[in-house]
Amino acid sequence: MDTLKTMTYETTGRVARITLNRPQRGNGITFEMPRELAECVERANLDPAAHVILLSGNGKGFCGGYDLVSSAERRMTDVSDDDRWPAGSPMDRQTQSQNHDPSQTWDPMIDYAMMSRNVRGFMSLFESDKPVVCKVHGFCVAGGTDMALCSDLLIVEDKAKIGYPPARVWGTPTTALWAHRMGAQQAKRLLFTGDCLSGTEAVEWNLAIEAAPADELDERCEILLERIARMPVNQLMMMKLLVNQTLQGVRPTQILGTVFDGISRHTPEGYAFQQRAADVGFKQAVHDRDDPYGDFGPSTFKG
């Protein structure tokens, strides 16, 4: 665990603390992150002293999604040898897929082979023996929501921004837990628009358990952790297993979501978005995509 590159792990009392630690990149998801996440979850599960896991993020926000700037800004047919991961590796194949020439045949299983590994890493939170509390501050968007929604309980900053803007172009939620967490109609409202919720709205929409101002978030989270940690580990394990049985139908949906995620990057609109990123930069392309929608949450949108 001394070799962790994307997060830190420590225990205090009965709490195992996993902290995403790429603050200079908004804790953007890399190929290593889901693998390291699964390793940390397993370490907590094997620690008899740990009763509950806290997942949080270092820096200005929890997680801004996949760290896609470099791949999105490359020209579709121009990927130099220096930019490549080891030949034949999953990331190398994914890079080839993201920079695919639209005039050539595309293999959707290249995307699936890569992204399904990430889903398994995220789902280590869902399948963890011990309960996982996710503390969200600042922002939790795009792929960052895959980790948050795989956690058992969310406690959020009241003004945090939570949602899946890539629903507009270039992505689908691979863990496919939105409908399971908040109901089909609420999930459709978000995914049909790419709109985001505030932390307060996330509680109102049954996505989070509690929202607190930024200066109270840590305290409120620690109170929740302390109450959970009082419980015997065996009781916590049984309660989580019991409730999670109601969500066993999620696996087929995740397969569909992961395949659709690859397809969404290879539609005409997906290619146009990537070309725009290559021309003006990924951040500007995202701004151009999202600007027509404004920055309204569902509860405040007026027209």
Rg over alpha carbons for the chain, rounded to the nearest Å, is 19
| pLDDT tens per residue, range 181-237 | 999 999 999 999 999 999 999 999 999 999 999 999 999 999 999 999 999 999 999
Across residues 159-175, what is the average pLDDT? 96
Distance CA 61, CA 209 (A): 19
Q: Identify the burial level of 80 via C-beta atoms within 10 angstroms of its C-beta, where 0-12 means exposed, 13-18 middle and 19 or more buried.
A: exposed
Distance CA 25, CA 117 (A): 22
What does pTM read for this prediction?
A: 0.89
| pLDDT tens per residue, range 60-102 | 999 999 998 756 665 444 433 333 444 454 445 455 555 667 7
What CATH number belongs to 7-293? 3.90.226.10
Question: Where exactly are the structural domains of the chain?
Answer: 7-293
